[in-house]
Chains A and B, each alone.
Chain A
Amino acid sequence: MAAAAKSPTLVIGIGHPHRGDDAAGLLVARRLQRQAPPRIAIRESTGDGLSLLDRWQQKDRVFLVDAIQSGAPEGTLHRFELGQGPTPFEACRNTPHGFGVAEAIELARTLGRLPRRLIVYAIEGRAFGIGDALSAAVEEAVLEVVRRICAEVEV
């Protein structure tokens, strides 16, 4: 655990375990955890934006994985690398917390607390109700994100 805490790369899977497709980010984190790739720290988050800021501080590269609703078919995968523009996914504001993921990114940018590279994988979901099942397309997208992150970090 101590070695993972010092890893320059961090993957944060965000979501709610009991709200259907919203669990996508958590499932990516758990699957990666099972594969235990070296040099990657893995964390789960329910989307409380402020704790994200503490977690990614002093990290070289951070992957955020979250579910999204932008109108695309479920399972569609989006990859953003945060540059100078505003957060490109307004849908991430749909959080049960008063201060969510998109707010955290923008606040970190304002305060100069972003990691050197912040890469967002957003998985398009459809069912977000409490007790909903995970959509099949989202389940496939979860595996695809795991593959892509592993490829990006050259595991």
Chain B
Amino acid sequence: MTRRRTKTLKVDPLTRVEGEGSLFVKIKDGCLHDVQLKIYEPPRFFEAFLRGRHFSEAPDITARICGICPIAYQMSAVQAVEDALGLAVDGPLRELRRLIYCGEWIESHVLHVYMLHAPDFLGYSDAIRMAQEHGAEVERGLALKKIGNEIVSFLGGREIHPINMRVGGFYRVPTRRELDPLAEKLRWACDAARDMVRFAASLPFPEFEPEYTFVSLRHPAEYPMDQGRLVSNRGLDIAVSDYEAHFEEEHVAHSNALHATYGEHGDYLVGPLARYSLNFERLTPGAQEAAREAGLGPVCRNPFQSIVVRSVETLYACEEALRIIESYEQPSAAFVDATPRAGTGFGCTEAPRGILYHRYQVGADGSILAARIVPPTSQNQKRIEQDLREFLPARLGVPEAELTWQCEQAIRNYDPCISCATHFLKLKVDRI
């Protein structure tokens, strides 16, 4: 009997990701045997925290789930609550919501592109070493991210865990004049974001194009951010309220995060690649042109090129933010009044990492009776493992250090936000 040779790659903890996780890859006799992305941040009981609280508290409580994308949580929360209350928020209030969301996309994408992901492509262990030889690029990233921060802290009331958003609108809305300084900065940011796209496009990309099932929002006229129907490249076209009829979450033993699945298709992908590939023609002409110049077609299936797509989306967010500010007219009221009524509401918005689904059941007195939150990283988790299963077999011969590097790079393609993804699943054990 020949001796079996087993090689285990272990990356514990994963660095340059948001939160705490690790990766295990087992290779047996030269064949890929097992891939497990483990998420071991403690389960967070936010869905349970929400029960019994007033609906007006949902945006502020759920914003605490993530320090990177609090706006996404607030946005999905207010939308779901407003859906339950039969409240429509449109006109300048909705525009302001898109504006603050643009700020979050800019912050989050720029941080990931320059500080967390670009070093992988250029062969640096981190952004500090990258800055020694690419100082101008890193400085551009810092300046761009600062503009995203400024939008969020200005409209959100403060930098960390913004507090100005509420069910029905905002606590306070800005005057036109207050937005002028941001417009000036955004004009610079649009140019800087075009340079960002060129920089990202100049990086070397491994050849790898899985047959993804993309899922994102799609709006009749806009690049999806805060509204739309849920669509896929496999024929899905449903209202947000039908999400749970098509998508399921399952617990896997090796992770504290739930794995989401999409019917018979199983794993699916949410986030920049899905949004872009399902909505290319909804980008601004400027962002479409930058994408074409960067060598992207209207569909992008190479996950390593997500760094280019994030840069294109950053440009889109800068242009969209500028458009909103330039056409802004201060609304007469900062919010639409909400009257409690019993009902169930659904919300889904495009967080930087992909769709974030919320459902609330609200009682007649306005208290939350049940809540369900499905963050983007738990939807992508199964697909991340599948990417590694498809990416690794052709590369098993490369030295271990390089292979480990490539695995980490492939995980970072998703900009996983592990803090958001951890849930606790109620287990029911049937003993026969």
Contact = CB atoms under 8 A, between A and B. Distances in A.
Given A50-B142, A97-B18, A111 B159 contact: no
Interface of A: 44-46, 48, 50-51, 53-54, 96-99, 103, 106-107, 110-111, 129-130
Contacts of B160: 44-46, 48
A67 B160 CA distance: 19
Contact of B128 (A45, A107, A129): A107
Contacts of B19: 96
B278 interface: no
Given A50-B111, A54-B146, A98-B17, A107 B127 contact: yes
B16 A98 contact: yes
9 contacts: A48-B160, A50-B111, A50-B142, A96-B20, A96-B419, A98-B18, A98-B112, A99-B116, A111-B138
Contact of A51 (B112, B135, B159): B159
B353 to A, nearest CB: 12
B303 to A, nearest CB: 18
Interface of B: 15-20, 41-42, 44, 67-68, 111-112, 115-116, 126-128, 131-132, 135, 138-139, 142, 145-146, 149, 159-160, 419
The 7 tightest CB contacts between A and B, nearest first, are A110-B131, A106-B128, A98-B116, A99-B115, A107-B128, A98-B18, A98-B16
Nearest to A102: B128
Contacts of A50: 111, 115, 142, 145
A129 B42 contact: yes
Contacts of A106: 128
Contacts of A130: 42, 44
A106 B127 CA distance: 10
Given A46-B160, A51-B149, A103-B126, A98 B135 contact: no
Given A96-B18, A98-B116, A130-B42, A48 B127 contact: no
A106 B42 CA distance: 30
A59 B111 CA distance: 24
B55 to A, nearest CB: 23
B423 to A, nearest CB: 14
A80 B151 CA distance: 34
A19 to B, nearest CB: 10
A111 B17 CA distance: 23
A53 B111 contact: no
Contacts of B145: 50
Contacts of B139: 111
A99 B108 CA distance: 12
A54 B17 CA distance: 22
Nearest to B16: A98
A23 B128 CA distance: 27
A110 B281 CA distance: 41
Given A97-B18, A97-B68, A110-B132, 12 more contacts: A48-B67, A48-B160, A50-B142, A54-B149, A97-B67, A98-B16, A98-B18, A99-B111, A99-B127, A106-B128, A107-B127, A107-B128
Nearest to A48: B67
Contacts of A103: 115, 126-128
Contacts of A111: 131, 135, 138-139, 142
A53 B128 CA distance: 13
A106 B125 CA distance: 13
B133 to A, nearest CB: 10
Nearest to B110: A50
A98 B111 contact: yes
A3 to B, nearest CB: 20
Contact of B67 (A96, A107, A129): A96
B421 to A, nearest CB: 13
A99 B19 CA distance: 11
A45 B153 CA distance: 13
Contacts of B142: 50, 53-54, 111
A77 B116 CA distance: 31
Contacts of B132: 110
A98 B67 contact: no
Contacts of B20: 96
B153 to A, nearest CB: 9
Contacts of A110: 128, 131-132, 135
A97 B107 CA distance: 13
A77 B419 CA distance: 29
A52 to B, nearest CB: 11
Contacts of B131: 107, 110-111
A107 B135 CA distance: 10
